[in-house]
Amino acid sequence: MKEQELLSKFKKFPKPEKAATYGTAGFRTQGSQLPFVLFTVGILAVLRSKKLNGSMVGVMITASHNPHTDNGVKLVEPNGDMLVAEWENYAIQLANCKSPEELLNAVSMITTKEKIHHDKALVGIGRDTRPSGVGLLEAVKDGISIAGGDLKDFGVVTTPQCHYMVASLNAGLDATCDSYYKKLSDAWRIIVVRF
């Protein structure tokens, strides 16, 4: 963890007015309330990837069908599933840290408790077209950088595409929007032929 850089970034991002909570939809609220939360999500994604021996972990920045002023983020497991429930508490803990020291202590606690020793980490990031998405993307990237991870930016994608790309890349398969559409159309043809 780059501690000096963390101190300056901690001051850069405004903290949410209310406590951040992570549920089945990840973190969701007004986009303006999320920069610090997204910064800590970048850190957590790196820790999760390191815990899983460098497998890619995904981050999807979206609030789905919520109003355009909202935004959100959720983490994606290497197999394309949602973040395991045991790590949701870590997400909440990091997002609600009140000082750089508290954040460093929380990261240290997670690293020790989860016995994280792997050096490499890879995070894949997707986002939707909400106005706040570009700034939130930069916050996630800052968190990934400070925690010592590498990233792959998927650009503007849907949530299912992000999940697909993370799972496919971890399985050594082609992971593009074209391969996603081909998989969908092939599945549709199989259904149509059977029925």
pTM for the full predicted model: 0.94
Q: What is the pLDDT of residue 15?
A: 85
Q: Which residues are catalytic?
A: 64
Integer CA distances (angstroms), 126 to 123, 175, 191, in order = 10, 13, 29
Structure confidence by residue, pLDDT tens digits, 82-131: 999 999 999 999 999 999 999 999 999 999 999 999 999 999 999 999 99
pLDDT of residue 6: 83
pLDDT score recorded for residue 8: 82
In this predicted model, which residue has the larger pLDDT, 84 or 6?
A: 84
**Mean pLDDT over residues 49-72, rounded?**
94
CATH number of 3-194: 3.40.120.10
Q: Do residues 47 and 146 lie in contact, with contact meaning Cβ atoms separated by under 8 Å?
A: no
